[in-house]
A and B are shown apart, each in its own frame.
Chain A
Amino acid sequence: AQKVTQAQTEISVVEKEDVTLDCVYETRDTTYYLFWYKQPPSGELVFLIRRNSFDEQNEISGRYSWNFQKSTSSFNFTITASQVVDSAVYFCALSADSGNTPLVFGKGTRLSVIA
C-alpha cells in the first residue's frame, strides 16, 4: 500500500526565515510520482511540482526548492526567505504508475508566516 507522511502538522515562522516541510513516502512500486500542492487560505489547491522516481535531481524554482532522496524515501520542500503569502496548507502526494492506483495525499502541513 502507498502512504505519505507529513509529520509536521503546523509550523510557524517569522517572515524571511527559511522553512523546510518534510514528506516521507512508502511504496513498493519502482515507478512513481511525487507532488506538492499548496492550499492558501482562500481554499483552492495549487500544483507546485511533480517529480518522477527516476529523477533525483533537486529542483529550485525561485524561493522554492525540493530535495528528493530515494534512500530515505523523502521529498522535502524548502521555502527560502519566507513571506506572509506563503502561509498555506501544503500537501505532499504520491501516485504509482502501476495501473489503477489512487493518488495518495499526506495530511498536510499548515505553515504560518508571521510578519
Chain B
Amino acid sequence: EAQVTQNPRYLITVTGKKLTVTCSQNMNHEYMSWYRQDPGLGLRQIYYSMNVEVTDKGDVPEGYKVSRKEKRNFPLILESPSPNQTSLYFCASSLGTSGTGELFFGEGSRLTVL
C-alpha cells in the first residue's frame, strides 16, 4: 500500500530534550516536505526536499533541522524543543521535484513540549 509513515504519532517531551520525528514514504517520490498545523494558522511549511541531499527552508524553519540521506526518508529533528513547537506535524511527499504535484500526507504527529 502506498503510504507516508510518520513516527511517533504522539509524543510528550520536555524543553531542551532532542527529538526526531521520522518520515518514510514507499512511493519513490522525489519531493518530501514537513508542515506544522496550528489552530487559526493553517498549515505552514517547515522544510522541504526536492531530492536526496537537497533540502531547503520553508516558511517556519527556525528550531528545526532535516536531512535527506535516502530518497524514502526525511526525518525532522528538534535539537532543543521549546513549548512554541507544540503542534501537529505532517510529513508529505510528491512525485516530481518541484513540489507542484499532489501531496500524499502522513497521518500526523502530535507533539507536546512542556
Contacts and interface: CB of A to CB of B under 8 A. Distances in A.
Contacts, number: 54
A33 B50 CA distance: 17
B42 A45 contact: no
Interface stretch (A14-22, A56-64, A72-80, A103-111): A103-111
Interface size class of A (residues with CB under 8 A): 20 to 34
Contact of B90 (A33, A45, A97, A108): A45
Given A35-B102, A105-B43, A108-B43, 12 more contacts: A43-B108, A45-B92, A47-B103, A91-B43, A93-B43, A95-B98, A95-B99, A95-B100, A96-B100, A102-B58, A103-B100, A105-B42
Interface residues of B, number: 26
Contact of A102 (B59, B104, B105): B59
Contact of A105 (B44, B56, B100, B108): B44
Interface string B30-53: 000101000011111100101000
Interface in A42-68: 43-45, 47, 50
Interface in B43-84: 43-45, 48, 50, 56, 58-59
